[in-house]
Amino acid sequence: MTTSIIKTQAINQDLSNSQLRLKDIIKTLPKECFQQNRRKAWTQVFFNVLMVGLGYYSLAISPWFLLPLAWIFTGTALTGFFVIGHDCGHRSFAKRRWVNDLVGHIFMMPLIYPFHSWRIKHNHHHKHTNKLDEDNAWHPIRPEVFANWGKTRQSAFELFMKRRLWWVGSIGHWAVVHFDWRNFKVKDQGSIKLSVAVVAIFAAVVFPTLIATTGIWGFIKFWFIPWMVYHFWMSTFTIVHHTFPDVPFDKASKWNEAMAQLFGTIHCDYPRWVEFLCHDINVHVPHHISTAIPSYNLRLAYSSIKENWGNYLHDEFKFSWPLMKQITDQCQLYITDEGYQTFNEYYAGK
């Protein structure tokens, strides 16, 4: 048994014995972590719009050999748009709900992301983080579920993991989950229809205009490829936040909320320019302790969490190709109460 698994079990037992609750952790955080600062929030907006504008300007003037750099910069800056919408979805951007809803729709609109659809599904993820059959973010596939899939679906999933195509994972989630209002409660369907209509109108106006003025290549150059870069970061942040060989996903009967948010949420450092453009969304542990913490206060909150609850935290990582290789190579299927197994281990045991 590896040291990391032993640590996981020891932490789980400790939390179970102490009956630690999430609100106990929240009480130890400085009050400043929860204070909304209008100047900081709108400064983020200003600089984010400026960076996206700079990105599109670079796309317009760059020679072909510099376009990849311009695409990476622009797509990463657009990820910052999503993070602003993310704060709005958690009502941590502004005190007034209508401001959160308006800003959220505006900043998710260019990404063709229905704001209320995402907000409702994402809040469900926070309530059920790392809970089997409930967490609707990047959740593991159990062998018994995989066995009931058809050969085509099994092969597609194996290809997805073995070829390390994690970076397109959020596109499937976006397309399948967020546009059909029938998948939501009746009381929420009006809001879902509104958000879907907003992005549909944006696409109906902007896409034909872009194609008419710049051609199909212009559409690919100015929207599609930056959008793909955004999804690279969206997929990467999502999988890294809660996935590693020793990070447990538990049944509801064994699930511990404090364990899920402390040890089941991973801090990963990225290049500082990425963290700047994406508003420190990688400092993710405090966000799972309380969604009321604005993004500009995440580092302050994380310092406090490390000081008071460091023994319960997962090891930190630096974003790298070996890290992503380890996750995709080892975290392929998930055996309840045991942990991850690879496809090779699955087939060997049949």
Confidence band for 16, pLDDT divided at 50, 70 and 90: low
- Whether residue 347 is predicted with pLDDT greater than 60 in this model: the reply is yes
Relative orientation angle of helices 67-89 and 225-242, to the nearest 10 degrees: 60
Among 291, 244, 315, smallest CA distance to 26 is for 291
- What are the b/e assignments for 129-140, b being 16+ CB within 10 Å? bbbbebbebbbb
Q: Is residue 230 within a helix (H) or strand (E), and if so which, with residue range?
A: helix 225-242
What pLDDT band is residue 139 in, cutting at 50, 70 and 90? Answer: confident
Give the pLDDT confidence of 48-80 residue by residue, as tens digits.
Answer: 999 999 999 999 999 999 999 999 999 999 999
How does pLDDT run across 253-306, given as a tens digit for each residue?
989 899 899 999 999 999 999 999 999 999 999 999 999 999 999 999 999 999
pLDDT at position 138 is 85
What pLDDT shows up at residue 19? 72
Q: Is the pLDDT of residue 18 over 80?
A: no
Q: What is the pLDDT of residue 187?
A: 95
Give the model confidence (pLDDT) of 144-199 as tens digits: 999 999 999 999 999 999 999 999 999 999 999 999 999 899 999 999 999 999 99
Q: For the residues 202-214, what does the mean pLDDT come to? A: 98
Q: What is the DSSP letter of 349?
A: T
Instruction: Write the burial class of residue 271 (CB in 10 Å: 0-12 exposed, 13-18 middle, 19+ buried).
Output: exposed
How is 146-173 classified by DSSP, letter by letter?
A: HHTS-HHHHHHHHHHHHTT-GGGHHHHH
> Using CA atoms, how far apart are residues 233 and 236, in angstroms rounded to an integer?
5
Contact 97, 116 (CB under 8 A): no
Report yes or no: 227 and 111 within 8 Å, Cβ to Cβ: yes
Please say if the pLDDT value at position 349 is more than 90.
Answer: no
Burial of 146 (0-12, 13-18, 19+ CB in 10 A): middle
Both tokens assigned to 195: 């958000």
The sign of the dihedral angle between the CA atoms of 102, 72, 156, 216 is positive
Say how far apart CA 225 and CA 76 lie, in whole Å: 11
8 has pLDDT over 90: no
Mean model confidence pLDDT for the chain: 93
* Domain parsing of the chain, residue ranges: 3-141+167-319
pTM of the model: 0.93
Per DSSP bridges, beta strands 339-341 and 317-318 are unpaired
